[in-house]
Amino acid sequence: MGINQIFIIINGNNDDLFKENNSKIIISRDKKRYSKQNCTFLHTDYSLDDLIKAHQIIKSQMSPINEILIINNKIDLNMLSYQYDYKIIKDNYSILPNLFFFINLLIENFDKKLNIILSFETKSHFKIHTNIFNDSIISYLETFQKDLVSSHSIKIKKLN
């Protein structure tokens, strides 16, 4: 029997993380990419309403959660336009508090031993906002790990 996985896909993909025998729920903006996966797909714009609905579905379909995989990679940006495209930057940063809220909602569904796997973009001085975004998630998860140390064993793994 496989494990219960929640995929939170902000950008990009990592096909190596999808295992056949595991029970998967994928949360993403891009439905086309994951239509061939054997999983429950939850389309979202990462609004609080969408994430609360996702939590209800996860609660009814998957417990305990053994693994959370957060993917934010393969971001192909035109560096000149990216510097001035404040909508992309604003949208990216508006996801953070909602994502943190969502992870906190899921605590009651965590297995006592939880793995969190991060598949992030390689750091680049050209992609400073992506670096800051990913570092914010890492900082939050490290604090989250410390806060739950008495009740859960949480391992955070960053992939290259």
- Per residue in 79-115, pLDDT (tens digit) is 555 555 677 778 778 899 999 999 999 999 999 999 9
Q: Residue 92 sits in which domain range?
A: 4-159
Question: In total, how many domains does the chain have?
Answer: 1
CA 158/CA 14 separation, integer angstroms: 13
pLDDT, one tens digit per residue, over 105-152 is 999 999 999 999 999 988 877 777 888 899 999 999 999 999 999 999
List the helix and strand counts (H, then E) for the chain: 4, 6
Instruction: Reply yes or no on whether the pLDDT at 35 is more than 60.
Output: no
Q: What CATH number is given to the structural domain containing 137?
A: 3.40.50.720
Do 12 and 73 contact (CB within 8 A), yes or no? yes
CA torsion through residues 116, 25, 150, 101, sign: positive
